Structure 1
Amino acid sequence: MADEVGNIEIQMSHREGNIELSGHKKLKRKVQSYSAKAVSAVLAGTMVLGGTGAAFAETTSTGTPAAAVTPQSAATAAGIFSDVKTAFWAEKHIYKLASQGIVVGNNGLFRPGDSVTQQEAVLMALRFMKLQGNVNTSTDVVLPADFIVTNYYKPYVVLAFQQGLLDKTVEMAADNLKTSWGERKASREWVAELLVRSLGKSASAAAAAGEPTGFADDSKVSANKRGYINTAVDLGLANGLDGNRFDPQGAVTRAQLATFFSRAEAHNTLDYDNTFKGTVSSLKDGKLTLFSNGSTTDFTLNANTAYFTSTSETRISLNEIQPYTKVTVIGATYNAAYVELTDPTQQLDQAEGTFAKLSTGIIWVDSANGYDQYAYDAATTFHDVNGAVIQPSSITAGSKISLLRESYSGAHRVVKVQVTSGVVNKTATGTIQSVDTASKSITFKNADGTTESFKWEDGTSLFSSQNSILLPAELKTGAAVSYTIKDNVIRTVEVTSGVERTVKGFIYELTDTTIVYQKTDGSREVKLLATTPAIVIPNASSPVIGDLIADKTAGDNVQLTLNSSDQVTKIEVISRQIEQYTAATVVDYNSKTQFLTFTDNNGKAHVIKLDEKTKLAYGGLITTSLTTMGAKLVENRKIDVTSINERAMSVELSTKYTGTLTSINATTRTIVIKLSNGQLLTMAYPLSVDMFGKNSAAITDVALNVPVTAVLSTNQDIISVLRVTSASQLEIATVNANTNKMTVKWAGGSSELYLAAVPLTNEAGQKISLSEVKAGEYVNVSFEGSTPLSLQSVKQYSGQISAVDAAAKTLTVKDYSGVSQNFTASAGVRITRDGVTTTDLSGLTTADRVLARKDASGVIIISVFSQLSRTFSRYETATNEVMTKRATLNENYKFVLAPNAYIHQGDTTLPVQSLKENDNIIMYFNNDKIVEIVKQ
């Protein structure tokens, strides 16, 4: 058989329109033939490489994978892969090749850790060599029966043989055909050979074949691969692993293969689609202009553009790429997906001289032979001695200047003029571009659109607005100004047409039309109030201007927002200097003097004065009558008080206390509640206890150190009801978005929750609607008593256990989209399998399919899916049922397919329609629905 394989030649039969493998000797192996129609049908569900593993390309209207038709289309869709995080070791190479269309992803995923098959690696190598367009997919492909390649890849594998990428003698040797050749995972030594052959370096490999690799596991290297490994290492394409190992038989991942081919680009001369090399001639306003071969091309930069250097694997920022440096830009339709800095040296030369004058487009520089003339344009920037940007007209005759000229285009265009010694004196108008308080500089934008920057000096009042002194930080971007420069330094800045700005201080005085505030430096300013200024007070609902506290020593600390007319449009309270007393006891109220005497919870007496500004409330009602409120301030009444400098800001009859239950005394039948301000309240047992999940609860059912709210009786002497704050994870039974109701299951039964006024969020804290949650899902609900306060949906992860470490209490679930989720069971774990619950991770294996989530306390809840091995019969589209063949008449043979069920063979995803009669399958079930089918 080996002799026969050695004589095989790959030929194209024009007469038959078939690609065949033929030889000088007659082959005794069976040959399978597939019609073009059959191949097309299979392609509809076939995986396409980009180093693929489990990523799929979109399909065309004919069912052919789109990446197979136009692989470069994948580059525009590659973008940023959500599973290739910043600083991932192969991030640079993945984005580079994805931008070139050599590798592709699917639905924003790359799956860098997935293994690559040999047939996938072949397609990637052909893309790397820009030969994939040479394949003939319109003819039938005939291969030996035991040389198994998936139908879609057959013409590419044949092309690889024709191009010398694959060695027929080696690949078709009898001992190499024991398993499917195409779907076999590509090993590191096999990929090394493929890489070297794709670069045309086979001669170098032959010369190095007799040399040891130098790796600790050299003895494991196949003899016919040693030269290729040596050459790949010499070229810098592949490196060793930990312990100086090469791991020749180890499987190559998608990330590793992308890295190999990315490094290999340095050793070929091919021009890849969408890849441009040149010098950055401009970099501003979100665009990069590239000069190459005598012309310029503009590329748009966006948030997804990736930046790297040729000498490092680590991502850099756009700020690290400077104009006039050399770069490689990859991107279709002039949108840069990938930018690589290849030479950070700016392509500039320098000339110096004495500035004489400026004419249209010409800088005149005094020299020994008269005047030298240098052309400039709108892109040329001018800078003063401090490096600040100035207008060309600001340069005075006799100033020493340095001119930087680009050296890459041959035109020697002046890109920068730097004043090395000289002065700028001017008065100009413009707008504030930016203010840098650290460097004490302001950048102005002039009427002609140019910008210039100057510094100010400490100790002078430089800034004013309508006769008000401004601090530098109060100057806002966009404000129209008039400014004076003397000796290169800012002397005055006057705001002529301001924009919205903010100031801070505490309220000194407040009227219906004005506010006086005191700044941190002790100075005071008065501002007019706009017609209806917005009032913001923390923890206050719909506050009004009367809720603000003005005081000559302890008024509210506020931030004022001023409009362009310097009127206050918003007042936001930052902090208050107030005293708070909860559950204080009235000693006396004098209606004539309006003095209220009370004792705090520690028995200390206080005296405060009520006035017409004091907020008064009782029984949930607000009153403005001191007479009405005074009648209720009788001895021993419980009140909640806020005051400032012995002035009552608010007085309210106590109706409830919120805090933490710290003690229960069964002997004295009392409880102790610790309030948020640290006060301890001792009160008699409540008349009733309200807590979710416990009917007819008693005080002994309440755990210590849990939050509670004590609602007082009308006479304030006892707790009418103690509401226990709790959080529970509950399973949704029904949802009715129209009535804002949800039924949930809990250990004691079920409850109906009314959620009209309850905030609903997802696991990320984003607001959701009730219609977004479904029956069978779980939610975390916080309660005050039995009343829901908030609801959060719980994310569940459905997939295969990819790793489990019982000792370290960790496990990883790879969900059906290919994303891995790590769990740490430090808070505990509950595993349910076939109705039996255990608490030990050692009961899980990497063959298990599970549904995993965390409960409200952080315990990991894992439900292991049941499974069945059957023989496939057919799929009923109308009922969405999978039919299997029965071993007995009583055996169930109909199974409902869940939406988005994962159907696959190995790492290749399949449509359910691709399953054929008599296929052996394994089905995994969640709630009696198939969530995964594995084709054997």
Structure 2
Amino acid sequence: MSGPKKLKRTVQSYSAKAVSAFLAGTMVLGGAGAAFADNTPTGTGAAAATPNQSAVTASGIFSDVKAGFWAEKHIYKLAGQGIVVGNNGLFRPGDSVTQQEAVLMALRFMKLQGNVNTNTDVALPNDFLVTNYYKPYVILAFQHGLLDKSTEMAADNLKTSWGERKASREWVAELLIRALGKNAGGSSGPTSFADDAKISANKRGYVNTAVELGLANGLTGNRFDPQGAVTRAQLATFFSRAEAHNTLEYDNTFKGSVSALKDGKLALYTNGGTLDFTLNANTAYFTSASENRITLNEIQPYTKVTVIGATYNAAYVELTDPTLQVEQAEGVFTKLSPGVVWVDSANGYDQYPYDAATTFLDVNGAVIQPSSITAGSKITILRETFSGSRKVVKIQVSSGIVNKTAKGTVQTIDTAAKSITFKNEDGTAESFKWEEGTTLFSSQNAIIQPAELKTGAAVSYTIKDNVIRSVEVTSGVERIVKGFIYELTDSTIVYQKSDGSREVKLLATKPAIVIPNNVSPVMSDLIADKTGGDNVQLTLNSSDQVTKIEVLSRQIEQYVAATVVDYNAKTQYLTFTDSSGKAHVVKLDEKTKMAYGGMLTTSLTTMGARLSENRKVDVTSIKERALSVELSTKYTGVLTEVNTNARNIVMKLSNGQSVTLPYPQAVDMFGKSSPAITDVPLNVPVTAVLASNQEIISVLRVSGTAQFEIATVDANLNKMTVKLDNGSKSSELNLVSVPLTNEAGQKAALSELKSGDFVNLVFEGSSPISLQSVKQYAGQVSALDAAAGTLTVKDYSGTSQNIAAGSGVRIVRDGVTSNALSSLSTADRVLVRKDASGVAIISVLSQQSRTFSRYESATNQVVTKRASLSENYQFSLAPNAYIHQGDTTLSVQSLKENDNIILYFNNDKIVEIVKQ
């Protein structure tokens, strides 16, 4: 059985006449110079439609046509075909189209532009004004009935330059229907539009036909706006849709079936042969059933597509029929000979030829070699139906014995069923079971239990007789182990497991420490002991390093601010009373951690001299053995009470103990000058730093996290000013050694922040400890579900963000705050962020309806007309402000005097202008 023939590539060149026209031309629907096809390519079969080397491609075509733009599909399509072009990388979709430009585009659509004679002088009536470059094309349009002479040259139609006049919607409707060669005479009755009376009588039939064919739609309020100017994006959309009603074959356009899709290449079977197209990051993928982009993953082999692209580089791929064009057969595999699979059948043996492009899969969909199929296995054979040769494209084992070694990732683990689902390197999921005692699970050359495998871990696995024989973690993800801390150093931790065995693990850089009732634990707060260490859960990264240590329980006793009763230097016993007056006795030894005044000591004599009666100490012990004894220097906890009569405060410490202390001598509090103890809110974290006599609080530092708006940023000096008290005050922050991260926890630079942004600040007293930028979403509310507490915001780049507002949401409109998400509407423009506690704050942008006057480029201000002298009429334009009419993006320079506009403001700057 012979395969499809490979098509020979040919390249079409342009004639000198066409090149001359290209160089001489002015901007035609997107720039000075469209390359016009001069002749039909030569060749037979598919080769007769070889892509044009000189035509404009759509790869990275226009920087002002963003992903998601409403006409993106049609602009990409027509640009790939050379029907529309751009200028300096811009398409300017919102610009109006002149009648002469629309005529040239219609001629390209009809494939008549090559028939124009540009070598002879062209004469038109003196009062029928057309730019010289367009004259031969306009005459060609009259010759082919694209334009009606009696209508276009009527006296009342010649008051202004005919060629440079903006093409109206009703005029383009007629041009479009004439370009299709259709008769609109039978549809000349009234239209269904609310402004039908404004449609010219001689255009009504064309409008009706355009609507019936799905080429043109109405506008908001069921209006057609017949005299409205057609934009470049709209005209591209009209002609793109019209191709469905045309029988012409367009340049660089190929229709067929995907015969292969691999390694950035798409093989297209068309006209009895195969064309190979290169796919790249700029290739646009769409479906004929939708205006929205799709991904390459949504296009499958053996489906029908249209590919547009010059020199075999696919600029545009459109899925026209997702139905797989294949047929299926089943049988029992018997043997394999070179290039042939033998299948047992009732009439003997059926032979299925295969080649290097045929895919062989096991029962789980993993790619295998043909030789690995065992005799007697049931197989399914898939053959394509589009080429006529019924080529075998895939053979899959439907039941049989699996023996292989493969690589992939762990998808799921079922320890009860003793089953693992792997995702192999080809992306196919396959499940196998293991048998106790016959399977080896390993990681980093260490034996592990199946339960220690983590979803997402990269593994190499061996299957024999359909059973898992080994699983080796080659690049793991986080996994969890448990035990109690046996030994602890600066770089390693030894933990003892429940079975009595011990393992040592390296510590990652700055592992996270979690200890219940400890606000900011550090490594030194962990207890390592051969019999009474902390019971912990360790999180290990893919390199088997400890990234997190979480204390689950501890056998130790902790006493904060205990009172010394006696220390016996001879027996080394310390007697003290806790906060409730209960007495305790512990023994110190050379392993006890000892500290005073912030200094460590190893001398029992030195420490003992300081353990005099009534001194305050912090003691950690296991039974009667002292793990640490430190003279109390500070209390860390939460402020629970301020007694103004007794002039004392009550703190609840991290271990749950409450202590009563006299008023502090000073209070250190962020954002407040000379604060008093009565300025400190209750139930906030504080640190009481003790004086040397341990009786007086020298300073009470208030800790916490709060969100602030940035007033100024000086990245060179590592300084920032944030607004306090709703902007009435400010505070300068020195951020030289303060870590800065973004919302995802990644390291960020101070230069990335600007005035108006928000940050979450963690502080201790007046000192910043860390800073985190806050992500904000600005745009229009496009969807709202108040019951579910969700909304969708379409930002000014056209990207939609789904936001879970959750409980406690705050909506701020005109200075008034509410908690009702239902108070929003899909017409609102909003700025969304989450405060330091995670509550969504939705600020509704203010708006004003104005009449445009002019744009002052020197000051970057929009000037509007005012109704009174007291009315503000000058407004600053924010960088990257979104200016548009409907879905069409505009430049501020395109706005005209007396245009009705709506302005939306953020921080007194225009962020959006809507032209009415």
Aligned to 2:447: 468
**Over residues 513-566 of structure 1, what are the superposed CA-to-partner deviations in whole Å (9 max), with x where a residue is unaligned?**
9987677xx667655667x87672437899599976776896321134687xxx
Among 324, 331, 339, the residue aligned to 2:302: 324
Please state whether the residue corresponding to 1:358 is helix, strand or coil. Answer: strand
AA partner of residue 199 (structure 1): L
Shift of residue 363, structure 1, vs aligned partner: 1.6
Question: Closer, same or farther in 2 for the Cα pair 1:236/1:675, shift >3 Å?
Answer: farther
Among 426, 433, 437, the residue aligned to 2:412: 437
Shift of residue 208, structure 1, vs aligned partner: 0.9
Residues 541-560 of structure 1 mapped to structure 2, 5 A cutoff: 555-560=535-540
Distance 1:853 1:569 in 2: 35
Shift of residue 688, structure 1, vs aligned partner: 2.1
Among 339, 359, 363, the residue aligned to 1:361: 339
Aligned to 1:84: 68
When the two structures are superposed, what TM-score results if normalisation uses the length of structure 1? Answer: 0.64
Task: Report if aligned partners of 1:690, 1:722 keep a CA contact under 8 Å in 2.
Answer: yes
Question: Closer, same or farther in 2 for the Cα pair 1:770/1:367, shift >3 Å?
Answer: closer
Q: Are residue 756 (structure 1) and residue 733 (structure 2) matched? A: no
Residues 299-310 of structure 1 mapped to structure 2, 5 A cutoff: 299-300=278-279, 302=281, 307-310=285-288
Among 506, 509, 523, the residue aligned to 2:482: 506
Q: Are residue 199 (structure 1) and residue 184 (structure 2) matched? A: no
Residues 75-154 of structure 1 mapped to structure 2, 5 A cutoff: 75-78=59-62, 84=68, 122=102, 125-126=105-106, 129=109
**Over residues 767-793 of structure 1, what are the superposed CA-to-partner deviations in whole Å (9 max), with x where a residue is unaligned?**
554556689999886654433344567
Aligned to 1:696: 674
Shift of residue 620, structure 1, vs aligned partner: 3.7
Question: Closer, same or farther in 2 for the Cα pair 1:141/1:665, shift >3 Å?
Answer: farther
Shift of residue 416, structure 1, vs aligned partner: 1.8
Please state whether the residue corresponding to 2:513 is helix, strand or coil. Answer: coil
Task: Name whichever of 128-137 and 629-638 sits farther off.
Answer: 128-137
AA partner of residue 264 (structure 1): A
AA partner of residue 72 (structure 1): V
Shift of residue 826, structure 1, vs aligned partner: 3.3
Distance 1:783 1:160 in 2: 74
Q: Are residue 208 (structure 1) and residue 184 (structure 2) matched? A: no
Among 354, 364, 369, the residue aligned to 1:376: 354
Distance 1:313 1:818 in 2: 14
Aligned to 1:281: 259
Shift of residue 396, structure 1, vs aligned partner: 3.0
**Over residues 66-113 of structure 1, what are the superposed CA-to-partner deviations in whole Å (9 max), with x where a residue is unaligned?**
xxx99935542458965738xxx767556656766767899999998x
Task: Report if aligned partners of 1:299, 1:334 keep a CA contact under 8 Å in 2.
Answer: yes
Question: Closer, same or farther in 2 for the Cα pair 1:146/1:387, shift >3 Å?
Answer: same
Task: Report if aligned partners of 2:713, 2:753 keep a CA contact under 8 Å in 1.
Answer: no
Task: Report if aligned partners of 2:303, 2:322 keep a CA contact under 8 Å in 1.
Answer: yes
Among 213, 216, 235, the residue aligned to 1:235: 213
**Over residues 636-662 of structure 1, what are the superposed CA-to-partner deviations in whole Å (9 max), with x where a residue is unaligned?**
655667778998776655544555655
Task: Report if aligned partners of 2:709, 2:756 keep a CA contact under 8 Å in 1.
Answer: no
AA partner of residue 359 (structure 2): T
Question: Closer, same or farther in 2 for the Cα pair 1:628/1:706, shift >3 Å?
Answer: same
Aligned to 1:455: 432
Shift of residue 404, structure 1, vs aligned partner: 1.6
Among 382, 385, 394, the residue aligned to 1:407: 385
**Over residues 43-70 of structure 1, what are the superposed CA-to-partner deviations in whole Å (9 max), with x where a residue is unaligned?**
8xxxx967xxxxxx8999xxxxxxxx99
Shift of residue 348, structure 1, vs aligned partner: 1.7
Shift of residue 713, structure 1, vs aligned partner: 2.6
Task: Report if aligned partners of 1:500, 1:562 keep a CA contact under 8 Å in 2.
Answer: yes
Task: Report if aligned partners of 1:351, 1:404 keep a CA contact under 8 Å in 2.
Answer: yes
Task: Report if aligned partners of 1:353, 1:402 keep a CA contact under 8 Å in 2.
Answer: yes
Aligned to 1:25: none
Among 542, 566, 573, the residue aligned to 2:549: 573
Residues 808-823 of structure 1 mapped to structure 2, 5 A cutoff: none
Please state whether the residue corresponding to 1:714 is helix, strand or coil. Answer: coil
Aligned to 2:513: 538
Distance 2:774 2:495 in 1: 48
Q: Are residue 72 (structure 1) and residue 50 (structure 2) matched? A: no
Among 711, 717, 725, the residue aligned to 2:689: 711
AA partner of residue 539 (structure 2): Q
Shift of residue 266, structure 1, vs aligned partner: 1.9
Aligned to 1:53: none
Shift of residue 757, structure 1, vs aligned partner: 0.6
Aligned to 1:892: none
Where structure 2 has 5 or more consecutive residues not aligned to the other structure, the ranges are: 1-20, 35-52, 515-519, 783-791, 817-830, 864-873, 897-904
**Over residues 362-415 of structure 1, what are the superposed CA-to-partner deviations in whole Å (9 max), with x where a residue is unaligned?**
223345665443222233233445655543223333444332222223343222
Distance 2:530 2:84 in 1: 66
Among 467, 475, 478, the residue aligned to 1:490: 467
Task: Report if aligned partners of 1:310, 1:341 keep a CA contact under 8 Å in 2.
Answer: yes
Distance 2:770 2:164 in 1: 51
Aligned to 1:585: 562
AA partner of residue 412 (structure 2): T
Distance 1:385 1:537 in 2: 44
**Over residues 821-871 of structure 1, what are the superposed CA-to-partner deviations in whole Å (9 max), with x where a residue is unaligned?**
99999346579xxxxxxxxxxxxxxxxxxx999999979799999x99999
Q: Percent identity?
A: 54
Task: Report if aligned partners of 2:496, 2:503 keep a CA contact under 8 Å in 1.
Answer: no
Task: Report if aligned partners of 2:458, 2:476 keep a CA contact under 8 Å in 1.
Answer: no
AA partner of residue 471 (structure 1): P
Aligned to 1:669: 647
Task: Report if aligned partners of 1:709, 1:722 keep a CA contact under 8 Å in 2.
Answer: yes
Among 761, 766, 780, the residue aligned to 1:786: 766
Task: Report if aligned partners of 2:496, 2:502 keep a CA contact under 8 Å in 1.
Answer: no
Task: Report if aligned partners of 2:302, 2:325 keep a CA contact under 8 Å in 1.
Answer: yes
Question: Closer, same or farther in 2 for the Cα pair 1:617/1:512, shift >3 Å?
Answer: closer
Question: Closer, same or farther in 2 for the Cα pair 1:718/1:469, shift >3 Å?
Answer: closer
Please state whether the residue corresponding to 2:357 is helix, strand or coil. Answer: coil
Residues 828-843 of structure 1 mapped to structure 2, 5 A cutoff: none
Distance 1:491 1:557 in 2: 29
Distance 1:324 1:659 in 2: 67
Task: Report if aligned partners of 2:146, 2:179 keep a CA contact under 8 Å in 1.
Answer: yes
AA partner of residue 737 (structure 2): A
Shift of residue 278, structure 1, vs aligned partner: 2.5
Please state whether the residue corresponding to 1:311 is helix, strand or coil. Answer: coil
Question: Closer, same or farther in 2 for the Cα pair 1:372/1:265, shift >3 Å?
Answer: same
Please state whether the residue corresponding to 1:556 is helix, strand or coil. Answer: strand
Aligned length: 804
Aligned to 2:41: none
Question: Closer, same or farther in 2 for the Cα pair 1:358/1:576, shift >3 Å?
Answer: same
**CA RMSD between the two structures:** 6.8
Task: Report if aligned partners of 2:586, 2:624 keep a CA contact under 8 Å in 1.
Answer: yes
Please state whether the residue corresponding to 1:265 is helix, strand or coil. Answer: helix
Please state whether the residue corresponding to 1:538 is helix, strand or coil. Answer: strand
Aligned to 1:295: 274
Question: Closer, same or farther in 2 for the Cα pair 1:855/1:397, shift >3 Å?
Answer: closer
Task: Name whichever of 851-860 and 744-753 sits farther off.
Answer: 851-860
Q: Are residue 223 (structure 1) and residue 201 (structure 2) matched? A: yes
When the two structures are superposed, what TM-score results if normalisation uses the length of structure 2? Answer: 0.65
Task: Report if aligned partners of 2:57, 2:315 keep a CA contact under 8 Å in 1.
Answer: no
Shift of residue 122, structure 1, vs aligned partner: 3.1
Distance 2:604 2:293 in 1: 68
Question: Closer, same or farther in 2 for the Cα pair 1:881/1:246, shift >3 Å?
Answer: closer
Distance 2:348 2:890 in 1: 77
Aligned to 2:827: none
Residues 38-53 of structure 1 mapped to structure 2, 5 A cutoff: none
Please state whether the residue corresponding to 1:200 is helix, strand or coil. Answer: coil
